[in-house]
Homo-oligomer: A and B are copies of this chain.
Amino acid sequence: MAVAVEFAQSPAEVLRVGSGFTLASVDPDSTPGYPGAKADGKALLEAQDARMAELQEKLFAQGRFGSPKRLLLILQAMDTAGKGGIVSHVVGAMDPQGVQLHAFKAPTDEEKSHDFLWRIEKQSPAAGMVGVFDRSHYEDVLIHRVHGWADASELERRYAAINDFEARLADQGTTIVKVMLNISKDEQKERLVARLDDPSKHWKYSSGDLAERAFWDDYMDAYGVAFEKTSTDTAPWHVVPANKKWYARIAVQQLLLDALESLQLDWPKADFDVAAERALVVAS
């Protein structure tokens, strides 16, 4: 079997939002750090499924043995950017038992009566788990900024609260991987049209998507400010060019693999006398 083409540069480095970053400088069609083509990328995605599954199982096993380690993937993007594809094609390789996925919708009345982080905290992953947020607390500084639902001082409070919150999760053992899938406005148009041209995709279309599309530039501004305020050393943002779905998937896969590798996970050591238990089982 041919060896898959791997990343030449780590997505964790080349896609990271550092100081001086501007969203406008990212080409949504580009494939930073990856020297291969589409077929290579698809092969890589599949080739790494088994390693992803093993690392995730080790994380889960460690959790059972008292380790506080856990992983949280936060996905943000404009509509049609491919969050769902990341969930099914990247996260889908992991054992469902070890994954806590939550898609955040518009908050309920009860959720609105609490601080914006109240519903987020409830969905934070347990020890040993891989949490996935499809949208997140960042909606409260994105759509809220775009539509003026929060004023400047409230937004400032939220950025700071988010940083404190994420720092606490990290202190508690959570490795946070924040990803913005970055498509171009033209690519979104093509994808919306494609949805409308395929009756099996009509259910994914909402006229609300079009309404938000009209605020494209405001969203890009809101993302820019959010990155500036919340791309911390503890929980940096990564902007993943996403016009090419295959690239976005391997980039996020690699971010997760690197995060899991950094935890130096191993199988937990037995906390019982293996030989003695074995003798008991054999005699049973």
Cα A22 to Cα B91 in complex, Å, equals 41
Dominant secondary structure of chain A at its interface with chain B: helix
Residue of B with least CB distance to A60: B203
Contact A101:B91 (CB < 8 A) given known A202-B268, A205-B277, A267-B203:
no
Contacts of A199 in B (CB 8 A): 267, 270
Number of interface residues of A (CB under 8 A): 43
How far apart sit A280 and B189, CA to CA, in the bound complex (Å)? 10
Would you list which residues of chain A between 259 and 284 have a CB under 8 Å from chain B?
267-270, 272, 274, 277-278, 280-282, 284
Query: In chain A, residues 173-225, which have Cβ atoms closer than 8 Å to a Cβ of chain B?
Result: 189, 192-193, 196-197, 199-200, 202-205, 207, 210, 213-214
> In whole angstroms, what is the CA distance A278 to B202 when docked?
11
Which residues does A use to contact B, with CB under 8 Å? 61, 64-65, 84, 87-88, 91-92, 95-97, 99, 101, 103, 132, 134, 189, 192-193, 196-197, 199-200, 202-205, 207, 210, 213-214, 267-270, 272, 274, 277-278, 280-282, 284
